[in-house]
A and B are shown apart, each in its own frame.
Chain A
Amino acid sequence: MKILHIFEVLKDRLYAAEYDDNKQNILDILQEQWTDPVFLELFFEVHKSDLQSGFFGAISIEQAIEDTMEEADELFDVLYDADEDHLDQLFKSLDNREYKVIDFQKRKAKGAAKKSWLRIYAVSCNDAYFITGGAIKLTKEMKERENTKNELDKLELMRILLRANTGEHLFVYLNI
């Protein structure tokens, strides 16, 4: 997988990746998938055992699709209206033990519901966030399922790209 382009979403603060396997801005892809009953019905059918493991209560696939669509609309509304001040609140550290925003840190934005399974992933760098992808996360650990494991790979890919190419860190990188 290769990053083809990086779209500027919010001037100097928010960017979104485009990969060579699907030539579309990742936010366009996520929004299309998360508001598409055909995609969601198949997704929840495949991941039925995770959905109905008990953590999310007694939930039907129909309800899961409706909840996802509603939360996706809310999450994209927040992104649409986001200004500089809201980004740090929206993107929390992927590692719950980290509280400070530092460069090349893996971050996540979640849906508003308490047990929301929607995630948008990003890497922080120079006061900006670089969105790498997103997922419907139904398990505790990202590495447990293929769809979330892929997101870890994409985060790492962006981190390597930024670490190697951002001006002030180039010197550091070359000295490793």
Chain B
Amino acid sequence: MQEKLENIQHLIISDTEANGWRKQVEYRRTNKDWLKKSAKIAIKVLRVLREKKITQVQLSGLLAVSPQHINKILKGRENLTLETIGKLESALDIELVTIVKADEKVVKSKEWDSMLSYYFTTNIKDSQSPSFVSAECGENKYELAA
């Protein structure tokens, strides 16, 4: 192959160490669990910054950290401490991490909306007006004040 490329040989770099992406693949494989969580937090914060029209520099002021530190957080490359997460939550008035208790379930809003819609359709048909909306999904039962 190399002899066939002799006219562009001066352009070719054969040192595979020069391929930084390989080291990144190894790093991302080793650290994938926390990197995934860090990225999710970064995405949420980025969307809130856009919505509230807050710049990265302003956020660094709110958290009293350097803009470089904020940039690392927003690129999802920071192994965040609970302290930093708490500061972000307070500064932006959002919730980033939630511990789901044993008697609680997380339901996607789309599923919840469709359960409510199903309930109200049925309820109007039956002309009933209970004080609680109750919906069942698989083995789980959900209740909400009507």
**Is the beta-carbon distance between A66 and B39 smaller than 8 angstroms?**
yes
Tell me if A5 is interfacial: C-beta within 8 Å of chain B.
yes
Q: Which of A7, A79, A164 contacts B13 (CB 8 A)?
A: A7
Which of chain A's residues have a CB closer than 8 A to the CB of B15? 8
Set B2, B13, B19: member contacting A28, Cβ < 8 A: B19
A35 contacts partner chain B, Cβ-Cβ < 8 Å: yes
| Complex CA–CA separation, A9 to B12 (angstroms) | 11
* Neighbour of A167 across the interface among B6, B12, B71, CB < 8 A: B6
In this complex, the interface size class of chain B, counting residues with CB under 8 Å from chain A, is 35 or more
Other A-B pairs, 11, CB within 8 Å; known A5-B11, A73-B32 = A8-B14, A8-B15, A8-B16, A25-B20, A35-B39, A36-B75, A45-B50, A62-B43, A80-B25, A164-B7, A167-B5
| Shortest distance from the beta carbon of A65 to any chain B beta carbon, whole Å | 5
CB distance from A125 to the nearest CB of B (A): 8
Chain B proximity mask over A20-62: 1 for CB below 8 Å, otherwise 0: 0000110110111001111001000100000000000000011
Q: Is the CB of B13 within 8 A of A8?
A: yes
**Interface membership of A146, Cβ < 8 A:** no
Q: Contact mask B1-27 → A, CB, 8 Å, 1/0?
A: 111111110011111101111101100
Secondary structure call for the B interface: helix
Which residues of chain A are within 8 angstroms of B24 by Cβ–Cβ distance?
28, 31-32, 35, 76
A76 touches B25 (CB 8 A): yes
Q: Does chain A have a CB within 8 A of B28?
A: yes
Contact call A7/B18, Cβ cutoff below 8 A: yes
Measured between beta carbons, the chain B residues less than 8 angstroms from A7 are 12-13, 18-19
Q: A3-B11, A7-B13, A31-B21 are in contact. Are A166 and B4 (CB under 8 A)?
A: yes
- Expressed in whole angstroms, the minimum distance between the Cβ of B14 and any Cβ of chain A is 4
Q: Nearest residue in A to B3 (C-beta to C-beta)?
A: A167
Q: Which of A7, A45, A164 has the most CB of B within 10 A?
A: A7
